[in-house]
């Protein structure tokens, strides 16, 4: 038997009959040297609505973190995140994102907080 916590993606925001799951649930971008490509982009993250009444509106927001990390498509179910400038030696830039979804019946659901990280890494990521 599976139990749900309030942080379980299948449960978050379901009090109004709508929830949001994310895939993946965190994202890392590793830059392999300090001089490489300024302005980097994360992998794609997709929010999936659980329940609710179509049609849906989406709103990605940054709730905390580095000012150089932005949201590429803030009103889409699918987005990437961008980091302006280089990631310098020993650099780690992080932000926390949240996806809010509203449906046509005025219900609102929220994703779990999404950790977005850009890091300089000397070789293969762990």
CB 60 within 8 A of CB 27: no
The residue with tokens 């400038």 is: 85
Which residue range(s) make up the domain with 49?
14-120
| CA–CA dist 23, 95 (Å, integer) | 17
Residue 8 C-alpha from the chain's centroid: 15
Q: What CATH number does the domain containing 69 carry? A: 2.60.40.10
Q: Is residue 6 packed enough to be buried (19+ CB in 10 Å), middle (13-18) or exposed (0-12)?
A: exposed
Output the tens digit of pLDDT for each of the chain's 126 residues.
Answer: 333 334 454 445 455 678 888 998 888 776 655 455 567 888 899 999 989 999 999 999 999 999 999 999 999 999 999 988 777 666 788 999 999 999 999 999 999 899 998 887 665 555
Residue 18 within any structural domain of the chain: yes
pLDDT of residue 1: 37
Number of domains into which the chain is organized: 1
What is the β-pairing status of strands 40-41 and 56-65? unpaired
């Amino acid at each position: 038997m599976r139990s749900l916590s309030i942080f379980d993606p299948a449960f978050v925001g379901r009090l109004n009959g709508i929830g949001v799951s994310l895939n993946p649930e965190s994202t890392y971008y590793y830059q392999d040297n300090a001089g490489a490509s300024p302005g980097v982009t994360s992998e794609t993250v997709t929010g999936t609505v659980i329940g609710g009444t179509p049609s849906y509106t989406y709103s990605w927001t940054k709730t905390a973190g580095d000012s150089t990390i932005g949201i590429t498509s803030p009103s889409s179910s699918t987005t990437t995140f961008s980091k302006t400038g280089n990631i310098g030696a020993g650099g780690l830039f992080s932000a926390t994102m949240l996806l809010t979804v509203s449906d046509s019946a005025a219900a609102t659901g929220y994703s779990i907080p999404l950790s977005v990280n850009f890091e300089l890494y000397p070789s293969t990521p762990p």
